[in-house]
Structure 1
Amino acid sequence: MTAASGTATVVGGLGAVGSMFVELLRAGGSTVTVVDPAGSDPDGDVVVGDITKPSDRVLAHVESSSVIVLAVPEQVALAALPSLRTSGALVVDTLSVKSRMDAAIADAGREGEFLGLNPMFRPALGPRGRAVIAVPYVDGPQSVRFLDVVRSWGASVAVMDADRHDRLAAATQVLTHASVLAFGVALAELGVSADELLAVAPPPHRTLLALLARVAGGEPEVYWDVQAGNPYAGATRKALFDATAQVDRAAETLGDFTTLMKTADAALDNRSGELNAECQSLFDRIAEGHRE
């Protein structure tokens, strides 16, 4: 499959992630059919059906596709594997956790290529200039070609195995979201209003308030799935809890607090200067927007 040809079936293609793939594949010249139990789309290219209990019509599209995208929850993707056993298509999932799918594919008894993708952004933002993690469960030429298609959309692609993906997702998503939500819960306990905070907030605090608005205003099921589904989520939240306790203890002496700050900075390796400059640029943009 190239960016300008091919036949694809997007299961769950009426959802946010699925519709992004439908739009991008169609824009590249692919013929795309949506399989979704939710109904029809304006183009009329939707087969109403359940991939876990496929009708003959659903199976016909699966059998004739060169790519099948599973833009569905994990339990649906896992249950769909038997329906894909006889297809020669490249199967692509969009799950935020990869290790269970990796194990299930190994036990599925199906020959063919499987590729896991995790777009590290909200679908509405689009892939251009953003990162996509790729996990080739069963690699081959179809996967290589599809990743070229993803790169043609303007995304950067980081290829890794399932365990490494889940560890990075825990650090970038579980830890981030838990930190922001904990910040919001702590604010609620302090009894200060948003109006009061915004009247005096320095750039770091205003940035955290904006992050809180974005996360807490999102879909609970999406954020819960990140916290509940990743096998490293519990250990990640415990690390956050323990780190908060370390900050509390280090506040007793300047020496301990200085050591703690050095430990935190060491997590950035040699990228501290670059990221500090990026933070300053972000704060400058926030200040300009606030003045407007």
Structure 2
Amino acid sequence: MTAASGTATVVGGLGAVGSMFVELLRAEGWAVTVVDPAGSGPDGDVVVGDITKPSDRVLTHVESSRIIVLAVPEQVALAALPTLRTPGALVVDTLSVKSRMDAAIVDAGRKGEFLGLNPMFRPSLGPRGRAVIAVPYVDGPRSQSFLDVVRSWGASVSVMDANRHDRLAAASQVLTHASVLAFGIALAELGVSADDLLAVAPPPHRTLLALLARVAGGEPEVYWDVQAGNPYAGATRKALFDATSQVDTAAETLAKFTTLMKTAEAALGDRSGQLNAECQSLFDRIAEGHREIAEGHRE
């Protein structure tokens, strides 16, 4: 499979993730059909339909495609499996949880290749220089060739099984988003205004404020799906809750607090120095951006 080797169908192609794949595939020379129940797209090239109850027109496009991208919620992707009787095609999902799709494919005894992708970034940012996790449910040459295409887009691809994906997604997404949202809720309870905080905020706090704006200003359904869907999400949030309690207890003495800090740093292994340097670089860029904004306001 080469970058310009045939036809593709992107189900849910009007959504943020789906439209990113449509744009990238078309730029590589693919003939892409969008299937979406939402209606027609800007170019009038959308087949309106429900992949879980496909019309003859939808089936015609799906069955003639060499690659089918399911940029849809998990319940839709799982319900669509019976309609995807295309052993000669590669089926790709973009779900944030992979273990249930993995089990469903095994239970259904499906033929053909199935590949899970999880772009670990907001679609509007694009894949260049960003991470994509790949889960080859049913591997083969089409999957490997398509991963080469994804790498050609500038993404770094990490290949793993479904269980490892879900564990890493819980640590990198569930824990991160829950921490940031909890920070915002605590700020609201403290009743301190953002204006007052920004006037005095040190770099770590300003970074957390920026993260809060990014996460809390996003699409609730996307972040809810991360918190609700991952099988490790509950245990991850409990770990965060327990860790917060440990900080409270450790504040009783310097010795306890010193031990707590060492325990926290140990989670970074031998990457602590590298990450500390990255943090300093990030803070320098934030400070420079803050100065530019302030100078712009004075002009």
Flag the 1:67–1:290 CA change in 2: closer, same or farther, 3 A.
farther
Change (3 A) 1:282 1:110: same
Q: Post-superposition shift, 1:179?
A: 0.2
**Offset, 1:110:** 1.9
Q: Are 1:32 and 1:45, in contact at CA under 8 Å, matched by a contact in 2?
A: no
Show CA shifts across 1:246-280 (max 9, x none): 00000001111001100000000100011000000
Query: Structure 1 pair 288/88, CA: closer, same or farther in 2 (3 Å)?
Result: farther
Residue 97 of structure 1 and its aligned partner are, at CA, apart by: 0.2
Could you say what the CA RMSD is over the residues aligned between the two structures, in angstroms? 1.6
CA displacement 1:37-79 (0-9 Å, x = unmatched):
1111222221110000001111111110000000000000000
Partner SS state of residue 91, structure 1: strand
Structure 1 residue ranges, 4+ long, deviating more than 6 angstroms after superposition: 287-292
* Aligned counterparts of 1:19 and 1:86: Cα–Cα separation in 2: 23
Aligned residue pairs: how many?
A: 292
Indicate conservation of the 8 Å contact 1:34/1:47, yes or no. yes
Q: 1:203 to 1:24 in 2, by over 3 A?
A: same
In structure 1, distance between residues paired with 2:277 and 2:295: 17
Cα pair 1:99 1:162 within 8 Å, conserved: yes
Unaligned runs of 5+ in 1: none
Partner of 2:280: 280
Greater displacement, 85-94 / 15-24:
85-94
CA offsets per residue over residues 111-168 of structure 1, 9 Å max, x none?
Answer: 1000000000000000000000000000000000000000000000000000000000
SS of residue matched to 1:239: helix
Other-structure match for 1:223: 223
Q: Secondary structure at the match of 1:3?
A: coil
Cα contact 1:36–1:47 (8 A) shared by 2: yes
Counterpart of 2:283 in 1: which secondary structure?
Answer: helix
> How many Å apart are 1:290 and its aligned residue?
10
**CA displacement at 1:222 relative to structure 2:** 0.7
TM-score (ref. length: structure 1): 0.97
Gaps of 5+ in 2: 287-293
Give the Cα–Cα distance (whole angstroms) in 2 for the partners of residues 27 and 198 of structure 1. 42
Question: Structure 1 stretch 37-46 or stretch 170-179: which is displaced more?
Answer: 37-46
Shift of the alpha carbon at 1:213? 0.5
Identity over the aligned pairs, expressed in percent? 90
User: How many Å apart are 1:191 and its aligned residue?
Assistant: 1.2
Deviations 1:176-229 (A, max 9, x none): 000000000001111111111001000000000000011111111111110000
CA contact (8 A) 1:177 1:215 kept: yes
Q: Is the 8 A contact 2:86 2:112 kept in 1?
A: no
* SS in structure 1 of the partner of residue 269 of structure 2: coil
8 A contact 1:70–1:92 mirrored in 2: yes
